[in-house]
């Protein structure tokens, strides 16, 4: 068998959504930027040496978009870049690149 570096990351996405839903159930205790800072690192954990395909990267980007669309009650077609700026959060693709560079 060849080690291609491809990793199944569905468990990481599943953990992210479970954390996000748990936080959203008690949202009155958390501010919006705290919610982002608790959930988004779950997605980037362990990606330092993983080979991401375009399909997997799209799944990750949709997770990051879901956070901001849900927190700020926006339409999914709207851009979340201003919301990310408001929360002082980098886009998820930048966070993934940053974790790979810092590794």
Summarize pLDDT for 24-74 with one digit per residue, the tens: 777 666 666 677 777 777 777 877 777 777 888 888 888 878 877 877 777
Q: How many CB atoms lie within 10 A of CB 34?
A: 12
pTM to 2 decimal places:
0.69
Which residues are within 8 A (CB) of 33 and not within 5 positions of it... i.e. 6 or more apart? Answer: 87, 88, 89
Q: Find the helix packing angle between 10-25 and 32-44, rounded to 10°.
A: 160
Residue found under tokens 């693709």: 93
Q: What pLDDT is stored for residue 46 in this prediction?
A: 77
């Amino acid at each position: 068998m060849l080690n291609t570096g491809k990793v199944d990351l569905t468990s990481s996405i599943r953990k992210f959504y479970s954390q996000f839903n748990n936080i959203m159930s008690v949202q009155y205790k958390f501010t919006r930027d705290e919610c982002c800072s608790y959930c988004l690192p779950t997605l980037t954990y362990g990606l330092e040496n993983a080979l991401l395909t375009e399909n997997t990267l799209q799944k990750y980007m949709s997770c990051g978009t879901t956070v901001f669309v849900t927190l700020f009650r926006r339409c999914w077609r709207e851009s979340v870049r201003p919301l990310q700026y408001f929360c002082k959060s980098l886009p998820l693709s930048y966070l993934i690149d940053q974790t790979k560079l810092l590794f």
